[in-house]
Chain A
Amino acid sequence: MDAGSPPTAAPGEPWADLTLSTSEYRRQARRLRSRASRRAVGFLAPYLVIWGAFLAVPVAWGIFLSFNKGGIIGDREFVGLNNWRKVVRDTELRQAATNTAVYVVVAIGVVFGLAIFLAALLNKHRGAGNFFKVALYFPLLAPPILGAMMWFFMVHFDFGIVNVIQRLLGGSGINFLGKNPNALLTIVAVEVWRGLGFWVLFYLAGLQSVPEELLGAAKLDGARPWRRFTKITIPTLRPLLLFAFIVAVIFNVQIFDSVKVLTDGGPALGTSTVVWFVFKRMFAFQDTGLAFATSVGLLLVVLILTLLSFWWSGEHRQRRS
């Protein structure tokens, strides 16, 4: 269908009058292409319309408004890089970004460590495997909002189960949510609880792709379990690990729901996160310029991570084939 150079025939040859001249050939190719485009448009239009209206336009508008003041209530006013200067300087945002970074690093570290450990156990001991998989997956069924609410009844200072037990044992209660850094760590724990089942299944699938013969051979050569794990299993999982890490960062950097339920950013902004900050600036304080600029910043971070993950999985696929 591509219009390259048309096949030519010397005049006088028998197929000469069956062969299109260059201009005719181009015209036909164009007709074919435009017919293909018209056909495709009908199929693409429904999606592209809502995608354009509710994703592409908002992204562009958000970028534009990050150089303006106002825009939601009251008139818009162009302020150049002012908002961006604020993004760099705002101390509350800096704290929110730090909290988010700490949260992301700790949560992913803990959840990946636990998940690989549990996946290795499940991979070795297959009995009742399905029961364990289903049970571990269970927390993902509840919306994050409800999952976080359940944890009130675990960690509440007065009636949380953990504290009730701790008091029965003679303690004076742990302040999980009203103190820093406890509050942020509690949110890490809740999110680890929610995500663990997913990552266990993820790594279990990865572990099951580790070639059995390789492990058997290493065993015969006298490699101990830990050595087999670090020298064979982990290297086989490595491409999976980096990809999983990027995806996990993208998910976790958006932490909001459990913060909103459990602490609403407190105490003393100790659990404020980037998305929580954007939400407050936008809908509570009407500081829209800063909110838009922060959103665009978040967008950039996620975009870079996404491209990185594409690049990585493409690279990996090439190396495999």
Chain B
Amino acid sequence: MTASETRAADEDLDEPRFEYDQGTFEAEARRQRISRNIRKVGAYTTLSVFVVIAVGPAVYLISPAFRDSVSLFSYPPEWLPSEPTIENYRFLFRHTEYLRWAVNTLIYATGVTLVALVTNTLAAYAFATMKFPGHRTLFFLVLATMMIPVAAVLAPTYLTVRMIGGWPIIGNFIDLDTYGGLILPSAVSPLGVFMMRQFIETLPSGLYEAARLDGASEWRILRKIVLPLLKPALVVLGIFVFMLTWASYLWPLVAATNNDHRVLTVGIQSLNGQFVTNWGVMAAAALLTIIPVTIVFLFFQKWFVQASMAGALKQ
């Protein structure tokens, strides 16, 4: 109840059917207001605690990233670096291939996103607007592979890529330790086909039927009529695929083992536990890696959230 509502209720009190006198009524209203406020404070405190837990580990990385790893073990503990140092970053850039990994990650994630967007949109357009014998069966077959975990086909995919790598010409582009071999197997998820098909089916079919009757080629219809309407869906799918790909670990771990093609996740994890873990360098690398994503995220948060929802719901 807002203040004005309370006042309105106060005026009703003139009528004798209420047993409350003015004083009791106000006391009751105050009691309710206080309990409401307590509940509100409780709710926001709880939410804040979870926010601290969510963001805290990343924020705390700043401390170990800017101090000597040895000082981590000092007693009494140091919360903030007493002698801030950029030694960890110097090590990261001089003695590891961090920059190379970052470039590889960009190439990998961009490549997968482009391949997925192009192939998925084309296939989705065919599945949504063309009826050919067996289109239902084929779509169901593709759809059935939607949830296949990378892990479950990791080894046979590895074998396939290695086999293709042995073929003439094509083997130069698709092999273990090539960008082609890294990118293509990561771009096969039918999720995008499914998402784009759902989206195209929401468009009025008169849109492309009319153009078809006028004799426009399918390619022209897709480019001139359907594609402009697909832009939001393409952005959502693009963000989703990019985020999933740059964060992936398992496939790049087995497909790209040399430094020329190694990606960030695999590279940074290789700092963990090689001989003695250099905790400071690990923290520095992790911090450096999440800062750019966080900045991009803060600018485009609405799209990000939409993308992750679209990916999970698929409905």
Interaction A to B: yes
Please determine whether B151 and A305 come into contact, CB atoms closer than 8 angstroms. Answer: no
Stretch at the interface among B4-12, B50-58, B83-91, B92-100: B50-58
**A298 interface hit (Cβ, 8 Å):** yes
Please judge, given known A-B contacts A39-B130, A134-B301, whether A53 and B155 are in contact too, CB under 8 Å.
no
Measured between C-beta atoms, what is the minimum distance from B51 to chain A in Å?
A: 4
Interface string of A109-146 (1 = CB under 8 A from B): 00000100010011011011000111111111111111
Please judge, given known A-B contacts A149-B286, A257-B249, A279-B151, whether A50 and B119 are in contact too, CB under 8 Å.
yes
Determine the distance from Cα of A58 to Cα of B61 in the docked complex, in whole angstroms: 40
Please judge, given known A-B contacts A47-B122, A164-B77, whether A72 and B159 are in contact too, CB under 8 Å.
yes
- Contact pick for B51, options A36, A65, A136, A205, CB 8 Å: A136
**A79 interface hit (Cβ, 8 Å):** no
Please determine whether B54 and A313 come into contact, CB atoms closer than 8 angstroms. Answer: no
Please determine whether A43 and B51 come into contact, CB atoms closer than 8 angstroms. Answer: no
Determine the distance from Cα of A147 to Cα of B265 in the docked complex, in whole angstroms: 11
Please determine whether A291 and B155 come into contact, CB atoms closer than 8 angstroms. Answer: yes
Measured between C-beta atoms, what is the minimum distance from A96 to chain B in Å?
A: 12
Interface size bracket, A side: 35 or more
Please determine whether A257 and B147 come into contact, CB atoms closer than 8 angstroms. Answer: no
Please determine whether B119 and A257 come into contact, CB atoms closer than 8 angstroms. Answer: no
Determine the distance from Cα of A201 to Cα of B304 in the docked complex, in whole angstroms: 12
Chain B interface, number of residues (Cβ within 8 angstroms) = 93
Beyond A33-B133, A54-B184, A261-B269, 10 extra complex contacts between A and B, CB < 8 Å: A43-B126, A44-B122, A46-B122, A54-B160, A62-B153, A149-B268, A151-B57, A158-B73, A298-B149, A302-B152
Residues of A whose CB lies within 8 Å of any CB of B are 1, 33, 36-37, 39-40, 42-44, 46-48, 50-51, 53-59, 61-62, 65, 71-72, 114, 118, 121-122, 124-125, 127-128, 132-147, 149-154, 158-159, 161, 164, 168, 193, 196-198, 201-202, 205, 247, 250, 253-254, 256-257, 260-261, 264, 275, 278-279, 282-283, 288, 291-292, 295-296, 298-299, 302-303, 305-307, 310, 313
